Amino acid sequence: MVDPDYLKFDTLALHAGQRPDPATGARAVPIYQTTSFVFNDTEHAASLFNLERAGHIYSRISNPTTAVLEERLAGLEGGVGSVCTASGQAALHLAVATLMGSGGHIVSSSAIYGGSHNMFMHTLPRFGIETSFVNPRNVDGFRDAIRPETRLVFAETVGNPGLEVLDLPAVAQIAHDAALPLMIDATFTTPYLCRPFDHGADLIMHSVTKFLGGHGVAIGGALIDGGGFDWEASGKFPTLTEPYAGYHGLDFAEEFGPAAFIMRARAEGLRDFGACMSPTNAFYILQGVETLPVRMKRHVENAQAVACFLQDHEAVSWVNHPDLGQHADHQLAQRLLPRGSGAILSFGIKGGRAAGKCFIEALRIFSHLANIGDAKSLVIHPATTTHQQMDTAALEAAGVGEDMVRLSIGLEDEADLLGDLDQALRASQRA
């Protein structure tokens, strides 16, 4: 394992969390495709189960292949620990379940992934957890929405699919003034473009299916703990600061200090809920992480070229990307995202839904599917797919209109992408 304290980002992406295999000398991370691990003796087994020493018991809780990915992501984000899960949604659920139970309350940005909105709006209330939604550009709205029972403030670095840029330091300050943690979904930006812990966030989640994996071959999620939130001083989180009968009265804050949250998430959440990442998927995601810096540079360059092209196209009514000067959050993006605002953009086609349908079906290089962050360029109509479960008011609050098309810009040659978009846009106007 390499020390993340002195190495630069590109090096960490290749080396953090791993040394060549001591048994074989293998340079690549081995896939430990095993359910369980042999104990040295009965004392060794008991100490592992009591969380008295580090080690692996069962791959639902931890696995050596997955552990490399967890350490690498924690190193890239500057966190104290990470837990990988079966999906991004599993990571979000794990965070909520670790922090609160029935009677809890979440303050969330309204500009979030449709699946996250559905969990907050429709699923969690069945378990006694409510959510208030706030326009991410209304920073004071976060403060106004906080209640005595609030236990989490949640937002995305860049909203999906409206591309609102969150004022991370301001929202973090509001959360901390209320003795609450700020959790950020950083899927769109990855740690290459933005490290939310550097701006005051306390917890980070990723759908590693997207840019971190980068090749559309494996589903997974990650939950990362910044280690900076004082759970004991807050006084609002008994799951972390009071004895837990599930481990014979263990107090996680007392025992694990800054890593209390992530240890509880693993020791209880993965043990009891079981949404673990497979070691093979961890291996696939690691391959993507190793090329993340190179890929993100190209993603951003291509996205900026596409945004400028669409801005000048006669068939396009509007374009939304934070790197464009007319974007409402352009100055904020320049401050928080100096390497670029990512590879996702949205735009409106003249002619509405009918023209949009024709456009999508006329594309030759772009793939029409429900994903982002692939090496290949992707397209979708959010109102009828990823955000279709939201009602009209929620769609409006999320900035999702009938004419909106979302693009995830890949790594293809820029000229080929622009040519494909141009021919499809021209076809849309003949519909």
Structure tokens at 271: 């043990």
Query: What mean pLDDT do residues 89-94 have?
Result: 98
Q: What is the rounded CA–CA span in Å between residue 134 and residue 164?
A: 12
3-state SS, residue 156: strand
Would residue 3 count as lying in a domain?
Answer: no
The answer to whether residue 384 scores a pLDDT higher than 80 is no
Decide if 410 is inside a domain: yes
Q: What mean pLDDT do residues 202-211 have?
A: 98
Question: Is residue 175 in a domain?
Answer: yes
Domain end marker among 288, 304, 329: 288
- Say if residue 42 is in the same domain as residue 173: yes
Residues 297 and 224 placed together within one structural domain of the fold: no
Question: CA-CA distance, 132 to 111, in Å (whole number)?
Answer: 12
Average the pLDDT over 194-209 and give the result: 98
Q: Do 394 and 245 reside in the same domain of the chain?
A: no
Phi, psi of 260 (to 5 degrees): -60, -45
Give domain status of residue 115, yes or no. Answer: yes
The pLDDT of 316-326, averaged and rounded, is: 96
Query: Who's near 289: CB < 8 A, 6+ residues apart?
Result: 13, 69, 72, 73, 76, 212, 213
Q: Are residues 223 and 314 in the same domain?
A: no
Average pLDDT, the chain: 94
Instruction: Indicate whether 211 and 91 sit together in one domain.
Output: yes
The whole-model pTM stands at 0.95
The domain that holds 351 is classified in CATH as: 3.90.1150.10
Q: What is the pLDDT of residue 1?
A: 47
Q: Which domain holds residue 146?
A: 10-288
Q: 370 and 339, same structural domain?
A: yes
Residue 2 lies in a domain: no
Does 219 share its domain with 309? no
Same domain, 151 and 270: yes
Per-residue confidence band for 391, with pLDDT thresholds at 50, 70 and 90: low
Domain stop point among 288, 305, 337:
288
Quote the pLDDT of residue 386.
Answer: 58
| Whether residue 338 is found in the same domain as residue 354 | yes
Tokens of 33: 């495709």
Q: Which residue has the higher pLDDT, 385 or 191?
A: 191
Inform me whether the pLDDT recorded for 224 exceeds 50.
yes
Name the strands in the sheet holding 203-207, side by side, starting at the edge strand that comes first in the sequence. Answer: 81-85, 221-225, 203-207, 182-185, 150-156, 105-109, 130-134
CATH no. for residue 209? 3.40.640.10
From CA 431, how far away is CA 353, in angstroms rounded? 11
Lowest mean pLDDT among 178-187, 340-349, 384-393: 384-393
State whether 112 and 259 are in the same domain. yes
Whether residue 5 is contained in a domain is answered as no
Residue 363 lies in a domain: yes
Q: Which residues contact 178 (CB under 8 A, 6 or more apart)?
A: 143, 146, 150
For residues 91 and 119, the answer to whether their CB atoms sit within 8 Å is no
Strand pairing of 378-380 and 130-134?
Answer: unpaired
Same domain, 203 and 322: no
DSSP-assigned letters across all residues of 281-294? HHHHHHHHHHTHHH
What is the per-residue pLDDT for 382?
77
Domain tally, the chain: 2
Percent of the chain at pLDDT exceeding 90: 89
- Distances 225 to 273, 345, 366, 394, 400 between C-alpha atoms, Å: 19, 29, 36, 30, 31
Domain boundary among 234, 260, 288: 288
Q: Note whether 81 and 201 are same-domain residues.
A: yes
Q: Does 4 map to a domain?
A: no
**Cβ atoms of residues 112 and 245 within 8 Å:** no
pLDDT bucket at 354, cuts 50 / 70 / 90: confident
**Both structure tokens of 66:** 């997955």
Closest CA to 86 of 277, 263, 332, 227: 277
**Position 142 pLDDT exceeds 70:** yes
